[in-house]
Structure 1
Amino acid sequence: MTGATTGAQAVEARTVNTVLGPVPADDLGIVAVHEALLSVVPGAEHAFDVTMDRAEIFETLARKLAEFRAHGGKTVVDATGMFHGRDVKLYEALSRSTGVHIVASTGMGPEEMLGGYFLTPQTNPPTPWPAEKFADLFTREITEGMVVPRVERRGAAGLVATAAAADGMTATEESLFRGAARTAMSTGVPLSVRYGNDPLHDLGVVLDEGLPADRVVVGGLDRRDAVAAGAPLEVARRGAFVALDHVGLNDDEAHVTDRERAALVLDLVGAGHGDRILLSGNAIGVAKGLPAYDLPYEHVLASFVPLAKSLGLGATTPAASSWATRATC
């Protein structure tokens, strides 16, 4: 078992699994909580017009991680899960080279990205895997190490992440959420979810599995539909973490702008929920088979925090704090 800890060990020692092994949560420093390093649409690596030059990919990511560290960042969480380009060996080399801790994730979703393997085709219509099968798959990536295709297991995932479709959670996605929650329960790692069309419903699904709310990160809560419904405040009231994880996205109708995000942060702090706010940019370091999103990993530190401070945010608020110390305890 390489770099893995049991749930009890993780809680007792307050460690987080990085690609180079467990790290005390207090050593993680400032964390970018929801990013992508190498993001590859499944199958794109085989396309005639997509290049996969590993040396070039390494150099690009190393430069971006070095800039992040130069601005005070210390840890990047790759929250893409199992099948979107996760490259454990590459991440190990990047972490050693740059000194930035990298937390990789297990998990998957939404359903449209899964493929038929994760359905039971003998039924008509096909039925989803039961939650316990997803839980077993994800748990082994934490307790035995993440799968390197056709080679081995190595390293332990430090997070289980899943997502629902934007038009609402499907039966398969409910199995995914429940399986991911069971994995978080049994291993001690945090759970990060991207809601479908109802953040409170989707949070309720994982809480129904007995997972404490303070072990759950609800992402995408800077979507306009969530903000209009008051979901960020209610998620915080229930004890989960509110991830405003599209910081830097200012020209998308589905999401609020950075100025509106800063106002939302101030509202949450004013309501007494400053310790439940997590900020990230959902940046993609290298994209293959999907549009590039070349937002610097340090955007929150370099641009958003100064903006929020100019609007009245105090210097000691969670905008510059670590998520993992809280989310793993």
Structure 2
Amino acid sequence: MKNFQIIRALSSNSAVSSIAKESSAAFIAGGTNLVDLMKKNVVAPDKLIDINGIDLKKIEFLTGKVTIGALAKNSQVAEDEVIKEKYPLLALALAAGASQQIRHMATVGGNMLQRTRCSYFYNTDMPCNKRVPKSGCGAIGGSNRMHAIFGASDSCIAVHPSDMCIALAALDAKVFVEGPKGKREIKFTDFHRLPGNTPEKDNTLENKEIITSIEIPNNNFTKNIHYLKVRDRTSYAFALVSVAVGLDIKNNIISEARLAMGGVAHKPWRLLEAEQFLKGKTVSEATFKQAATLAMKGARSFGDNDFKLTLGPNSITEALTIAAAK
């Protein structure tokens, strides 16, 4: 790790002003991903802007929605009693992510901005278009067991590692950001990007913008919900496949459904076609299998991850079954 300077910002305005003046600077909050990347020399900022002094840690329950500050800790959100009551899918997804120690350090904004855990991205001796544009993708034709089956490109087949973000995509969250051009909001499903020809760009943040909060509208997904995470080991492992499910069931009929997957794409993968299919359907194993088959349209594997073509629909069916039985 190279030497760097650190300064502390006490407001979002000062943080934006500070980073706008620097050609090589990064925001740091919990540092649970950034510090790892610096140790591996994957990134090497000259200056870190510590944003922990900014008042962005609140969870506010307002009319029709909840607003969560970008610096709220993952553990703070997951353990909040009202979050568990009104947005239990988010609490479940957060509890499935990382270790308890990391959840006590990691922030909501940092979780959203974490980089892929692709081994080629972390190994500076190997080609990686995400780390060094136009250098090639070692995972294509290489070891790709953890990699994408949706939305991949010839430039990158890495996956986004977050659990929290899968639930936020399913819950129609919004992201609020601030930058040199002012403030704006972004639909959560539009926040992360597919790789295309520019896999180095993980999201749609503009240069020098900072996340200030997220907002989740109220919903009826408080009972028939489930977050299924299939991984190699229960303790601190990233998802091979994960599924976030929210169902609104009345008299055994699904009036509304939300579905998103993790471990399968460069961004949280929302299953909109399967959601539409489930609306108005009677709860049954056959219905869930049909939805799972529909959700897998367009999936493509790359060798080591061929098993995801079977694991994916099985996981969707299982998650829907568990959610409906609650």
Structure with more helix by fraction: 1
TM bin, normalised by shorter chain, reads under 0.3
Q: Return the structure number with greater relative CO, CA threshold 8 A, min gap 6.
A: 1
Largest Rg, 1 or 2: 2
TM (norm. structure 1) is 0.27
TM (norm. structure 2) is 0.27
